[in-house]
Amino acid sequence: MRQLIAGNWKMNGLLAEALGLAGDVAAGAEGLSCDLLVCPPATVIEPVVAELAGAPIAVGGQDCHQAASGAHTGDVSAAMLRDAGATWVILGHSERRTNHAETDALVRAKVAAAVAAGLAPIVCVGETEAERLAGQQESVVGAQLAGSLPAGFAGVVAYEPVWAIGTGRTATEADVAAMHGFIRAVLLRHLGAAGRGVRILYGGSVKASNAASLLALPEVGGALVGGASLVAADFLAIARAALP
Ligand code: PEP
């Protein structure tokens, strides 16, 4: 399966900036051996989709509400993202889990809403630094997977150790390989043979200089990239490091 390189722009990008970044990524995206995805802020999804028309780059949201519609002031539904042209959505990012108290059960409901609206979900899991220091990374991530993935899940999982996100610190290759192997085993246990087809992305301070070694590790199906996805040259360098 092709590796997926996904850019999470987070809360960055007014219209002009977003269009410039999308255009620069599109200019270098031909002939890559990976799948490419950018996840801009919801307000610019539609113009970014238009800017990327014809380019081999998908567009995703960064969150959606679990309900199809209704009295949820300020929220965005999965169908609204789809309507704007998105085909993917990131769910359960650690910044959502921390800043908005998102639970595994809520993430699971959001995954169901996303799939019902025709979006492919990327479900994020990962331990905090305190949990890793206590040796709890497998129990924490195992519980997140069990709680966040609905039966029959066929999306993508992103392993993002919280302490590596936006910090410049990357998990060691041995730790990434161990956690991705653990996550694969959990997916096979929960989903049966279908668990083999779930791509497992690594996220946490991926940059051009470390992408090749991370993407070459067993069970690494791509990368979820935050900071480095805001610079087209850096994001494209990571995409070029994907396995053929
Ligand atoms: C992220 O936000 O998912 C992320 C991995 O960020 P960064 O690459 O900046 O660590």
In the chain, what are the domains? 4-240 (3.20.20.70)
- Cβ pair 241, 23 in contact under 8 A: no
pTM to 2 decimal places: 0.98
* 63 pocket-lining for ligand 1 (C-beta < 6 Å): no
Burial 190-200 (b: 16+ CB within 10 A, else e): bbeeebeebbb
Give the pair of three-digit tokens for residue 143: 């519980």
| Residues lower than pLDDT 50 in the chain | none
Closest ligand 1 atom to the C-alpha of 206? Answer: 8
- How far apart are the CA of 100 and the centre of ligand 1, in A? 17
Give the Å distance between the CA of 93 and the centre of ligand 1.
Answer: 10
Q: What is the pLDDT of residue 41?
A: 98
Q: What is the pLDDT of residue 117?
A: 98
Nearest atom, ligand 1, residue 229 CA: 8
SS3 label, residue 4: strand
**Does the beta carbon of 226 lie inside 6 Å of ligand 1?**
yes
